[in-house]
Structure 1
Amino acid sequence: MKRNKMLLLLALSFVLSVILAACGSDDKAKDNASSGADDNKNTEQDTKSEPDAEQVLNLMESAAIPSVDSAIVEDAVGFNVLNNVNEGLYRLNLENVAEPAMAAEEAEVSEDGLTYTFKIRDAKWSDGTPVTAHDFVFAWQRAIDPATGSPYGPFMMSGVIKNATAISEGTMDKSELGVVAEDDKTLVVSLERPVPYFLSLMSFGTFYPQKEEFVTAKGDAYATNSDSLLYNGPFVLTEWDGTGDSWVYKKNEHYWDAENVTLETINVNVVKDSATAVKLYNDGKKDRAGVSGDLALQYANHEEAVLQPDTGVFYFKFNQERDGKETPLANVNIRKAIAKSFQKEDLADVVLANGSMAANYFVPKNFAYDESGKDFRELSGDHLVYDVEEAKSYWKKGLEELGVSELELEILGGDTELSKKMDEYFKAQLEKNLEGLKITLKEVPFSVRLELDTNQDYDIQVSGWSPDFQDPISFLDLFVTDSTNNLMSFSNAEYDELIAASKEELALDPKARFEAFAKAEKILLEEEAAIAPIFQRGLIQLEKPYFKDLGIHPFGADYSYKWAYISGKE
């Protein structure tokens, strides 16, 4: 959603100097195919070792916690914390399979795909009281209530859960939301339409339960510090005063699956600077650290370096209308020329040097899979591959159609030193390969970039997106004509129809649905060049070899510590 876009734009501004914390299906086979976890060394594919040391972990986060209220949280750090101290109906496991968590078993789904019935397991809050179906009803109603001001509630529920759109718009009472507790152990959810990725959503933080009696009693103080929260997840949050740059996770003895939680304590400090983080790691004070920029080059071959795959994709946005007038980028041949005229591999391997890879696609690799487990990328293939001769041909044709011999275009970018270096790379590539093109660079602070994006006051902008749930539509829905994330005046009727069909008549036909997505991606990229893919983000982390089974997720929260443990520490 917008917040994810903001996080990724911010990440782009710092991607060469600071590693930031990052921040769907109709049955288990479709919803939960492996999402690339096998690429990480901390998976159960390795020989399982036994915990043999004090189970205390020392970690770093990139920012302080803004909120741990599941109705309010919208940032990466908040979702990471929430994922480890609370739990929804489903949870992503080490293989990134969404499996029953607060749900005692797989959901019962009606034949028309519109009704999901969940049985709530015997689980307790950290105060010893039972988690019930009513806790989900309260939390979801609170998240969709306009009075709450939830950023994710309307985004995740509208058009998905029955009556959510009307409630979020203030035309219907929150009590009409399509979620009912038939009894303490039975939760029934009614949908507006079949949603193939619905069970994937059930692992997302916005859908976690809240105990009404506790939230009401705390009032405005709810979720303002670690003592004003209840926990139903693997850990409880302690030593967080609501503003500080440190906090501690302690094992939650009331957690229903506590016997499978090994870590006793996780100490977390906020460290914003990559060089400082690496020093703390090398000094043995921290067990994991992100590296980027020059440090990434320095540590890429380090014996404790781990490549962390990521599903964030960065791309050029081509703004077709500015100040009420068409821009030269309204010409499809100009867009195609630019999209094919810069060397992505060099950018990823030399400039970024952090495990990122060149992207000739929008929906990322190792993210969405069909019923047989095949990556969506195998179905859709590559688009807008670097080809200077083709780029020059498109450029010549575009200039002729515009009746000009040269163009001046602006690239909107960040204001950090290394972000400027990346923008200079784009400028050099484009001006070298497209005769008559002059690129000006507008490098501004993050907040200014957001304002310029919202007002469509740019020509070309480097943007990015990371998914909230496991389905290609998390990406492709961005560029339908009326999307609030379009913000570049792109419109294609056939594209809109394909995305609409994926939500309606094709919703229960997975094969046809993925074929529609592939066709839509081809229109977006190959036919229209509405955007130009650049790279799929990767991260390099330094990680102590005794740190085992960290859960790394390609959507939703970044990390799970439920299965992590320490073994082999000297």
Structure 2
Amino acid sequence: MKKRNLLLLLAMSLVLSVFLAACGNKEKEEGTEKPADKGDDQATEQSKEEESGEPDAEQVLNLIESAAIPSVDSAIVEDAVGFNVLNNVNEGLYRLNLDNVAEPAMAAEEAEVSEDGLTYTFKLRDAKWSDGSEVTAHDFVFAWQRAIDPATGSPYGPFMMSGVIKNATAISEEKMDKSELGVVAEDDKTLVVTLERPVPYFLSLMSFGTFYPQKEEFVTEKGDAYATNSDNLLYNGPFILTEWDGTGDSWVYKKNEHYWDAENVKLDTINVDVVKDSATAVKLYNDGKKDRAGVSGDLALQYASHEEAVHQPETSVFYFKFNQERNGEKTPLANVNIRKAIAKAFEKNDLAEVVLANGSEPANFLVPKDFAYDENGTDFREISGEHLVYDAEEAKEYWQKGLEELGVTELELEILGGDTELSKKMDEYFKSQLEGNLEGLTIKLKEVPFAVRLELDGNQDYDIQVSGWGPDFQDPISFMDLFVTDGTNNLMSYSNPEYDALIESTKNELALDPAARYEAFAKAEKILLEEDAAIAPIYQRGLIQLHKPYFKGLAVHPFGADYSYKWAYISGKE
């Protein structure tokens, strides 16, 4: 079966069970891999049903990441690289398998669920931390309480737990103590979770990094040094992290001999280096120093038909975030006509086909194609249509109207982007397009490392930001929930009560009416894009990866963490 059809069936089953997806902050540097829908046959080369051969060589893998690790603290992680690392060195109650279905991991068996759907009881398997101590239910209680505690400053905890786990919202708003979170360790091996309301997607949520356990004694002992380097972490997943000093551009995964399923982990070592330049990455690959490398731009055109090229469609969507308030002052982007002008003033087809040239597609939407389907199997994109399509003449009209409303004849705005080769090329393209189509506009480019961009985004210290989102669950709300008023991922001072009400309705009164729920999402997307131009969609990403044929068993996930190396191995290497 093609993986595309598998995901379609999964998506429909989730919709039919009212798969309401909460979403976490997963803004990503362009170039940081966030695999999505595996619709392309080539992209399924690594699926378990097509694998062949047995491990027959030194089980050492050499990989590339395009950004350094900001954090591996499950309460703090908020980026693609961090979640990717976390997924491979730690493990929650459930884990996504090779078919992207959540199955028991730290849980010994499927959870027992109460008739009203509000109480989940998990029995933990016998599993150990990398120091040889037992993983217990108390480790989950501690970690979840820490993630929801306002003092921790977790970007994901409140977002993932609020409205889901009992009392999470009140705790995040400092109205209740973290000890009142609806999670209790009845004994060392029994964890009981109480929900605010029935949440059909809850078991899938249990595979997400924010819900991983942490050992209280270890975290407390390390204090501020916890998770600052690989020695100040404990691991309960397939691998342990080594040779990471907290800031460096390289790290190593080693097989975790204490892992409960270690006999099925074949790789001994994974060496990772941060390489921001695509040409350098490809050279390393061709020289046999790396086993997988992403290509883009001219290189993507050159390597698109290469025998080792894997075409990987994605569910990640990139867009401009328009910051309406900076340093306590309204910005020119608080003007809706200025936002609409910029949103419609750059040609997306050329960007996708010439600048990116990696299978990415122009996006006139927020919720991606080939991702979410209604109960009849209809793609959400067919229901919602397109918004903010490129139109230079219309953009000029909005621009002049906006300038008149602001009482100025020219504006200088800053675009915040990444410091990778591809990011810089995109930024130059945006500058050329926007300045060329909007008279009186000057664009300044601010290109910074990923960790710096996360900090600037968190402080809302930017004008326009090239941002992106990959879903944590297979449902429109994984994207739509980002922009509710005061949402933890909003960070641009956007607010529309009608939009908020529509999103809230999808979680409550429309929860059991899939058709009406999708219509509400469609109305909300139109408000966000067409009416308010709160963000400006740019493209839905595709990737071309050069992938050594002897590198087998890679699990590529369409939501949550990018990859699992648990089942990967080397076979047929000369």
* Interval of TM-score (by shorter of Structure 1 and Structure 2): 0.7 to 0.9
1:60-116, CA deviations, whole angstroms, 9 ceiling, x for partnerless residues?
333444443323334433322221121101112223222222223333344544332
The answer as to 2:82 corresponding to 1:70 is no
2:335 counterpart (330, 334, 353): 330
The answer as to 2:32 corresponding to 1:20 is yes
Q: Secondary structure at the match of 1:312?
A: strand
* Mapped partners of 1:510, 1:347: distance in 2: 35
* Mapped partners of 1:409, 1:529: distance in 2: 18
CA contact (8 A) 2:45 2:51 kept: no
- Cα displacement (A) at 1:357: 1.3
- Cα displacement (A) at 1:347: 1.0
* CA separation of 1:353 and 1:414: change in aligned 2, threshold 3 A: farther
CA contact (8 A) 1:196 1:507 kept: no
CA contact (8 A) 2:550 2:570 kept: yes
Matches within 5 A, 1:299-448: 299-318=303-322, 327=332, 330-331=335-336, 336=340, 339-370=343-374, 375-386=379-390, 388=391, 392=393, 396=397, 408-414=410-416, 419=423, 421-423=425-427, 425-426=429-430, 429=433, 437-446=439-448
* CA separation of 1:504 and 1:441: change in aligned 2, threshold 3 A: same
Q: Secondary structure at the match of 2:504?
A: helix
Identity %: 76
Partner residue of 2:475? 471
CA contact (8 A) 1:64 1:245 kept: yes
- Cα displacement (A) at 1:509: 4.0
**TM-score, normalised via structure 2 length:** 0.82
1:8-31, CA deviations, whole angstroms, 9 ceiling, x for partnerless residues?
3xx2xxx4xxx33559xxxxxxxx
2:260 counterpart (256, 262, 271): 256
CA contact (8 A) 1:35 1:96 kept: no
CA contact (8 A) 1:363 1:377 kept: yes
**TM-score, normalised via structure 1 length:** 0.82
Partner residue of 1:105? 109
* Mapped partners of 2:492, 2:76: distance in 1: 29
* Mapped partners of 2:273, 2:398: distance in 1: 55
* Mapped partners of 1:476, 1:352: distance in 2: 26
Q: Secondary structure at the match of 1:483?
A: coil
CA contact (8 A) 2:170 2:176 kept: yes
1:369-413, CA deviations, whole angstroms, 9 ceiling, x for partnerless residues?
446665433443333334x4xx64685588579868996455532
CA contact (8 A) 1:124 1:130 kept: yes
Partner residue of 1:173? 177
* Mapped partners of 1:273, 1:60: distance in 2: 11
CA contact (8 A) 1:80 1:557 kept: yes
- My pick for the range that moved more, 543-552 or 55-64, is 55-64
* Mapped partners of 2:388, 2:356: distance in 1: 20
Q: Give, as a single letter, the amino acid of the residue that structure 1 aligns with 2:312.
A: Q
- Cα displacement (A) at 1:36: 4.9
Partner residue of 1:277? 281
- Cα displacement (A) at 1:137: 1.0
Partner residue of 1:556? 560
Q: Secondary structure at the match of 1:554?
A: coil
CA contact (8 A) 2:416 2:462 kept: no
* CA separation of 1:168 and 1:258: change in aligned 2, threshold 3 A: same
1:90 counterpart (91, 94, 105): 94
1:4 counterpart (21, 26, 29): 26
CA contact (8 A) 1:406 1:437 kept: no
Partner residue of 1:519? 523
2:551 counterpart (547, 553, 561): 547
Matches within 5 A, 1:559-570: 559-570=563-574
- My pick for the range that moved more, 262-271 or 374-383, is 374-383
* Mapped partners of 1:452, 1:64: distance in 2: 17
- Cα displacement (A) at 1:138: 1.7
CA contact (8 A) 1:481 1:496 kept: yes
- My pick for the range that moved more, 72-81 or 172-181, is 72-81
Matches within 5 A, 1:286-305: 286-305=290-309
* CA separation of 1:527 and 1:547: change in aligned 2, threshold 3 A: same
* CA separation of 1:482 and 1:270: change in aligned 2, threshold 3 A: closer
- Cα displacement (A) at 1:241: 4.9
Q: Give, as a single letter, the amino acid of the residue that structure 2 aligns with 1:158.
A: S
- Cα displacement (A) at 1:421: 4.9
